[in-house]
Amino acid sequence: MSPLAALAGSEAFRDLEMLIRSHYGLIVLRTAEEDRALTLLRLVSDRLTLPLFIWTPGETLRLDGELNGVYGTQDADGFLSHLAASRVEALYFVRHAEVLLEDAARARRLADRVVAMEAGVGAITMALEAPELSEALRPRAATVTLPPPDGQDFRRLLERVLRDVGRRQRITSELSPADTERLLMQLRGLTLVEAEKILTRAVVEDGRLSVADVDHVVRAKRDIVEREGVLEYYPAEETMADIADLAGLKAWLAKRRAIVADPAGAEAFGLSFPKGILLVGVPGAGKSLCAKAVAMDWNLPLLKLDPGRLYNKYVGESERNFRRACQVAERLAPCVLFIDELEKAFASGDEDGGLSQRVLGSFLSWLQDRRAPVFTVATANDVSRLPPEFLRKGRFDEVFFVDLPDEPSRAEIFRIHLARRGREPGELDLAALAAAADGFSGAEIEQAVVAALYTAFSGEGSVDTALLLRELGGTAPLSRTAAEKVAALRAWADGRAVPAN
């Protein structure tokens, strides 16, 4: 199916046609790609036999396909004056619509034109990724969401880039079918224009398309995240092998790995992309580590949402920051979105004048309704501060309780951290260390190993079983210093969460 045929048969096409027939005077096409929005409008204008006019700030209003424009419409005020005087029933597409929306006086004039157009046939349309409409415009506007480019769109783009560049120079493709699918998956989240630039540069630079070019796409996505400034592109260096125990959680994730590898097959089988998991448990038990390992294991980009980046002193900015964060995550989908210590971002209560509650409402709606393949991994240490809405099925696929490691797991944690720091675990009595570390979390065991290394480096001995036992003996784990809180967590999890261990 051609791109035009796909758009003509899309839900967005049907919605747009219906809204125009229903006399909506202002229609916002929700997309980052103005060119795709314009293509859709051209199809609808043909169907409805309505003329399509295009206005770009700094250029005159012109009929689509014509070179000459309407005199005196180069600036926003001239364009609005023309709309006020015109009696032509038509569709108008406004490029870079922010010039109209960000000025209060122009927004009011635009609202007047919208009211007038509702009495006839036609509409003013604009493409916006994140619509921010004034009070005057919001009640009169309808929104149509354009679907992002899918795998077939990117496949056709890749074929066209190879064909066009191949006419100018000799190129070779070294990608296997599996590598090609991985490249196409990584392109998701980019606009077709962005993807075309990246692919063209990749093949022009060395005359070939190789596995290394997949990294070009990954770096481009990282640039998108850094440019927006609300999410962090987190380096995922751990794997599931770096996590001791958590057998229940690992088994759950392993069953869903195939969906990530074959989303089309999963959809045909009746399965949708998993929403995510909430990890509740003792601090230091490996919840954050697991989030990073999921991204590595599933070969997906990992985005970290830092609550401190969301909140802003200016009214409305925090909600706007959250929407931007969600939009970036959806653009980079499929991906893993990691939110550490969720209760700090959306704690119960009204201490902040209701700000966190408003952001919470937006977040819950996004968790429930999003369609983009974003797998959310959220962690919480203090479940008493967590709003109960998070625990309802449909927001997360499952709630797991991460308890302290048992004795075999503690031995494995010692082995992992000793080997990571260049020590031979087989030379130590791991069983004795695991027994002595009863009640320790994984993070506390790691710090005991680090402390032993500091002691040995200062000339007070070597890293052996005796030194590690001494470090353990000098540490009071959280399970003892905060025994009541740990007991309360376990009591809460009984019957409410699935054991991750």
**pLDDT tens digits for 124-138?**
999 987 777 888 899
**pLDDT tens digits for 41-95?**
999 999 999 999 999 999 999 999 898 999 999 999 999 999 999 888 999 999 9
pLDDT confidence of residue 90: 93
Distance CA 454, CA 255 (A): 41
- The closest alpha carbon to 338, from 376, 389, 290, belongs to 376
| pLDDT at residue 427 is higher than 80 | yes
Dihedral class, residue 273 (left if φ above 0, else alpha if ψ from -120 to 50, else beta)? beta
The torsion angles phi and psi of 499, rounded to 5 degrees, stand at -65, 130
pLDDT confidence of residue 313: 47
SS (H, E, C) 194-237: HHHHHHHHHHHHHCEECCCHHHHHHHHHHHHHHHHCCEEECCCC
Average pLDDT over residues 374-395: 79
Distance CA 139, CA 142 (A): 8
Distance CA 249, CA 466 (A): 34
pLDDT confidence of residue 62: 95
pLDDT confidence of residue 106: 92
Q: Is the peptide bond before 177 cis (omega within 30 degrees of 0)?
A: no
**pLDDT tens digits for 138-189?**
999 999 988 778 778 888 888 888 888 888 888 888 888 888 888 887 787 7
| pLDDT at residue 367 is higher than 70 | yes
pLDDT confidence of residue 166: 85
pLDDT confidence of residue 349: 52
Residue-level length of the chain:
501
pTM passes above 0.75: no
With beta carbons less than 8 A apart as the criterion, state whether 499 and 401 touch.
Answer: yes
Bigger pLDDT: 358 vs 141: 141
Distance CA 12, CA 145 (A): 6
